[in-house]
Amino acid sequence: MKNLIESLAQETDSKIVMLVMDGVGDIPADGHGTPLQEASTPNLDALAKDGVLGQFDPIAPGVTPGSGPAHLGLFGYDPVENNVGRGILSAFGIDFDLTERDVAARVNFCTLDADGNVIDRRAGRIPDDVNKRVCEKIRKNLKLPQGIELFLETVSQHRAMLAIRGDNLSDQLADTDPQHTGVPPLEPSALSPEAEQTSQILKDILKQVREILADEEKANMILLRGYSGFRKFPSMEDRFKLKACAIAEYPMYRGLAKLVGMNVRPPYSGFEDAVAVLNENWNDHTFFFLHVKKTDSYGEDGNYDAKKDIIEQVDRIIVPGITALNPDVIIVTGDHSTPWPMAAHSWHPTPILLHGKLVRRDRTEAYSEIDCQQGGLGRLPLINLLPIAMACAEKLAKFGA
């Protein structure tokens, strides 16, 4: 199917806008409907009434996805075949030039108690200036074995990117993030024999980091996730004839967009600015990826009210900015669900809204998870979304005689 869509793709001037509210999918709890269901969203509801809804599985039914593979599915790349660690995404997101001699990992600064157990996996979401200071502290005091270089760069808040450079390194390593509090960090164990050397290097680095950060109040240790070496993907323009533009504020999603060859614009400073960037680049592209992070962040924080409020802001500011441009197809979706009662990603399908003059409308009248369950798109793998949108934008040729 992948090669079929590529073979049918044709370049046209029609425009597709994909608005991704990260982690928007949710579940009802504690007497509430979902934040999406209870938010006041007249503009999204108007699109739903004139469009078609559905619910799509980012990976497969019952599988909880990470943001990386979920977004690759949105962009039309098989999320299992093309799964990459967050290290490369973090590197690309901050414009770090990863080489074939590098292994990169996503870093979470965390807080350990006196017994060495993780009590906060995000170190209280430290501000960027603290992150930069602590990164410099590590770089200044760390002693490395001969032939090994280390790069440690701030990403945002509690997140950073770590890369080690040397010969014969491997990314086949276990994450050190236990994903729970009340337990110590895990070891960067080798998952294959060729990773033993890299594992030992990282174990020594992490031992030193713990000593270097021992006097820090919050960011007194790091957790490593998503190791990856250098990898190159075919671009969306090569595969789908789409001149793609990415409008995102958060580095990892900028990295994902860069990985698939999008023109990544500088981070926007607010929703009004995001709309302005969309307008500025409208004539030069045929596909636009506009990403909103805070729906996911507030879901992970278990903050119902804040998640509902950010959805209402998107409806009030971003959606009218998109519709004013009259794109041929509008997609509104999440990459996955992040239910606020769980404060984590989940396996629940993500709610999909598709709008355009060639969609087959259904009887739904509002954009919510419950309405999407009744929508005409049904329930499909997320990788099917882009081809459907391309067809509605007349970007796929007829197959066969």
CA–CA dist 236, 287 (Å, integer): 10
Calculate the average pLDDT of the chain.
94
Instruction: Calculate mean pLDDT across residues 349-365.
Output: 97
Alpha helix stretches (DSSP H) within 317-381: 319-323, 369-373
Q: What percent of the chain has pLDDT over 70?
A: 100
Enclosing H/E stretch for 155: strand 149-156
pLDDT by residue (tens digit) across 36-82?
Answer: 999 999 999 999 999 999 999 999 999 999 888 999 999 999 999 88
Single out the residue of 84, 116, 110 nearest to residue 98, CA to CA: 84
**DSSP letters along 211-278, please?**
HHTTT-SS--EEEEEEEE-------HHHHH---EEEE-SSHHHHHHHHHTT-EEPPPPSSHHHHHHHH
- Domains of the chain (ranges; CATH) run 2-82+234-392 (3.40.720.10), 90-228 (3.30.70)
Whether 86 shows a pLDDT value over 80: the answer reads: no
Please tell me the predicted confidence (pLDDT) of residue 231.
79
- Choose between 350 and 93: higher pLDDT: 350
Please tell me the predicted confidence (pLDDT) of residue 224.
95
* 212, 138 contact by CB (below 8 A): yes
CA–CA dist 101, 189 (Å, integer): 20
* 121, 223 contact by CB (below 8 A): yes
Residue 91 tokens read as 């590197």
Please tell me the predicted confidence (pLDDT) of residue 2.
59
pLDDT by residue (tens digit) across 287-345?
Answer: 999 999 999 999 999 999 999 999 999 999 999 999 999 999 999 999 999 999 999 99
Please tell me the predicted confidence (pLDDT) of residue 135.
95
Residue 190 tokens read as 């080798």
Residue 185 tokens read as 């960090």
Whether 1 shows a pLDDT value over 70: the answer reads: no
**DSSP letters along 272-295, please?**
HHHHHHHHHTGGG-SEEEEEE-HH
* Residue 111 CA to its chain's centroid (Å): 24
* 69, 60 contact by CB (below 8 A): no
Binned at pLDDT 50, 70 and 90, residue 143 comes out as very high
Whether 397 shows a pLDDT value over 80: the answer reads: yes
